[in-house]
Amino acid sequence: MSKTIFLQTYGCQMNVRDSEEVLGMLRAQGYEIAEEPEAADVILLNTCSVRQHAEERAFGKMGELSVLKQERPDLVLGIIGCMAKLRQAEIFKRLPRVDLVAGPAELYDLPYLLAEIQEQRQQAELVQGAGLGVGGNNGLPRTPNPEPRTRVIAVDRPYRPLEKKPAGDYRRDRVTAFVTIMEGCDKACTYCIVPKTRGQEISRPAEEIIEEINRLVEAGYREVTLLGQNVNSYGKRFPDGSGYKGPLGRLRLLEEDPGALLDFPQLLRLIDASIQGLAGPATAPPHASSPRRTIAVVGSGRMGALAPCHPPGLRIRFTTSHPFDATERLFAAMRDCPSVCEALHLPVQSGSNRILRAMRRGYTAEAYLRKIERLRQLVPEVSLSTDIIVGFPGETDEDFEATVRLMREARYDNAYIFKYSPRPGTDAAAREDDVPQEAKEERNQVLLKLQEEITLARHRALEGCLVEILVEQRGRFEGQWFGRTRGHHGVIVENPEDLLGKLVQATITRGTAHTLFGSLHGAADHRARRPDGGGEVRRRGGAGAVVGGGDRLLRFDAGLPEDAGPLAGPHPRPAGASPTPPH
């Protein structure tokens, strides 16, 4: 009889994709997926350490699940992911019934780690069977141990060996998919725990990424989101040791041999070329006449070939970007690649140069604003979202007002706003957390209200506009569907037919601060293109999804907004409802 596994995920999209890989890997080993923890032989929590609240939720949940071991001593309990890397052996102290602790870099080892737990338990049973249990070695009657104690910890790898990705895959969604293009982060932001939990940056070879996207297209997926802690630094380091190494190496290649540089903008162009099925050699000599587009995958140590032409309609998104590495080269790729959506998440964190310096972000507020000004020149339809932290140590009223001014000038379509939470092991944790909680809460609410006003204005500006929507899921009511525009707006439409996974055209009829409502026009599997060969023909570009706040769990994957009610009649959202997107 096969074993069953239950896995619950906390955190960002990277964790969601990690969980999918874990489930696929274990299914290939013969495990079956349990929908409820009570039905599982193995229970894993894939955890997040970005904020204290996320850790406490995971500790609390595993504390509840530990009770199941009283009736089922053979149950295996495991904490995996970022909290496992950060807290390590401390987890066993707080949760003595946990058997396994494994960091993000060790996820590919899970089949072996689970097997090790079983071996330890078998050895313990053999020892007890030989009369060496409790009391068995001193002439007294032996008392069997009703609950085998096994502890396996794996947290020492500096980064995940992406080249050793095991067989097997699993995806819950059948319309949109995540594709990891890199792991880790080499930045040293003083508040951030990610470099410590995820390790140094390592990029996947381009041909592996393109092959995975091709398989998703063949399986019927309509949208792919490229994932990385900092996708903008893709190509810096590959598993074979190649790559452009850093900003100076990248600049040198741009000056001396631009064609030899494989960075994130170039990856976008390669993916787009594969999707569009462009003919003609990219790096082959002029006399080459292959019907497949050949590319030199510089930095991965191998040559690869782009797949044949795919039907139009696949969308490409990416997250997350660091402003330091977001260059005009990226913005030009977004402009030139029809498959790449006009949406960019560019976390600013603060509008105060003093605080940005204390955070070690590597840019000023003025430089950041110049970048988004250039972005909007090159990609006028772009929607822009951001992250902001309030209450960072030393933040004064003047610093906060600088953030307010930046938000008014940037006019984000969407913002995720957080109250600072010290993380152990970060440089900022050594500083006094001197901003009172009341001030953090007040500043958080001020920015949430400001962003809600901006989003409402941007949504109302879309009323009467024709937009393309990818339908992702059913709505809350019969005949209602939820989808997203290329700018990542959430839109509600109504239609009795099955629209799941379809690209449709809709006119926006109403915009609230959290949702757009549209009137359906029909299928749009073949998007109109501008005469110059550029992006999709649309009346306007626009805003993102809902106003964020609170704890960021499953960012950019919030699903149906709270006000997704009927298209007609009074607004269904209850008074006083939180603007925080569902986690």
Q: What is the full DSSP assignment across 454-507?
A: HHHHHHHHTTT-EEEEEEEEE-SSTTEEEEE-TT--EEEEE-SS--TT-EEEEE
Cα→Cα distances 554→14, 87, 285, 525, 581, Å:
9, 22, 45, 28, 10
CB–CB of 171/116 below 8 Å? Answer: no
CB 49 within 8 A of CB 15: no
Tokens of 574: 């209850």
Q: What pLDDT score does 561 carry?
A: 53
Strand partners, 385: 345, 414
- In this prediction, residue 147 carries a pLDDT of 56
What's the pLDDT at 312? 52
Quick one: which of 460, 455, 482 has its CA closest to 470?
482
Cβ atoms of 526 and 465 closer than 8 Å: no
Question: What is residue 289's predicted lDDT score, i.e. its pLDDT?
Answer: 30
Fold adopted by 4-154: Rossmann fold (3.40.50)
Do 85 and 48 contact (CB within 8 A), yes or no?
Answer: no
Q: Which of 216, 200, 213, 209 is nearest to 297 (CA)?
A: 209
Measured between alpha carbons, how far is 181 from 416 in angstroms, rounded to an integer?
24
Stated as kind and residue range, the H or E segment containing 521 is strand 516-523
What is the Cα–Cα distance from 442 to 436, expressed in whole angstroms? Answer: 10
- Give the C-alpha separation, 486 to 527, whole Å: 12
pLDDT number for residue 130: 62
Residue reference for tokens 């050949």: 294
Q: What is the pLDDT along the chain (583 residues), one digit of tens a residue?
A: 689 999 999 999 999 999 999 999 999 999 999 999 999 999 999 999 998 999 999 999 999 999 999 999 999 999 999 999 999 999 999 999 999 999 999 999 999 999 999 999 988 877 766 655 544 444 444 444 555 568 999 999 988 888 888 788 899 888 999 999 999 999 999 999 999 999 999 999 999 999 999 999 989 999 999 999 999 999 999 999 899 888 888 888 888 888 889 999 999 999 999 988 733 333 332 322 322 233 333 334 333 333 333 345 699 999 999 999 999 999 999 999 999 999 999 999 999 999 999 999 999 999 999 999 999 999 999 999 999 999 999 999 999 999 999 999 999 999 999 999 999 999 999 999 999 999 999 999 999 999 999 999 999 999 999 999 999 999 999 999 999 999 999 999 999 999 999 999 999 999 999 999 999 985 444 333 333 333 333 333 333 332 333 333 333 334 555 555 444 333 233 223 333 332 3
The count of C-alpha atoms lying within 13 angstroms of the C-alpha of 136, restricted to the half-sphere facing its C-beta, is 13
User: Cα 422 to chain center, whole Å?
Assistant: 22
Predicted TM-score of the model (pTM): 0.82
